[in-house]
Amino acid sequence: MAKVKKGVYDFLRGSFLTDESAFKNWRIIIFLVLLMLIMIYSAHSSEKKVFEISELNKRKRELRAEYVDTGTILMRMKMESSVREKAKARGLKPSETPPKKIKVTIKD
């Protein structure tokens, strides 16, 4: 039991970093710290990309709704009844005589 207490006490004091085999310990610790930093960086990077994708999807939905609304307005503007009303407001009216077909013949 005394050996376990001594081992825990030595670990808490950090004697594994200052004894003869400390070089091996430091290499492993530095390697683990680098791996953790890479893992944290990649997690932040992927989270940033997820937020960016979410914002782009939201913008896409807004633009799609605007496109549909604009298409609906255009269809209403192109309807014959609305064109007739606008023409009437400008003083234009439908022709009472039907149009005549003009046929062009070219003689060589």
pLDDT tens, position by position, 22-65 = 777 788 888 999 999 999 999 999 999 999 999 999 999 999 99
User: CA-CA distance, 42 to 69, in Å (whole number)?
Assistant: 41
Q: What percent of the chain has pLDDT over 70?
A: 97
Q: How far apart are CA 44 and CA 64, in angstroms?
A: 30
- pLDDT tens figures, 75-95: 999 998 888 888 889 988 888
Residue 59 pLDDT = 98
Closest to 16 in 3D by CA, of 34, 4, 24: 24
Provide CB contacts within 8 A for 83, sequence distance 6+: 77
Please give the C-alpha separations between residue 107 and each of 60, 102, 104, in angstroms, as whole numbers.
Answer: 59, 16, 10
Residue 81 and residue 94: Cα distance in Å, rounded? 12
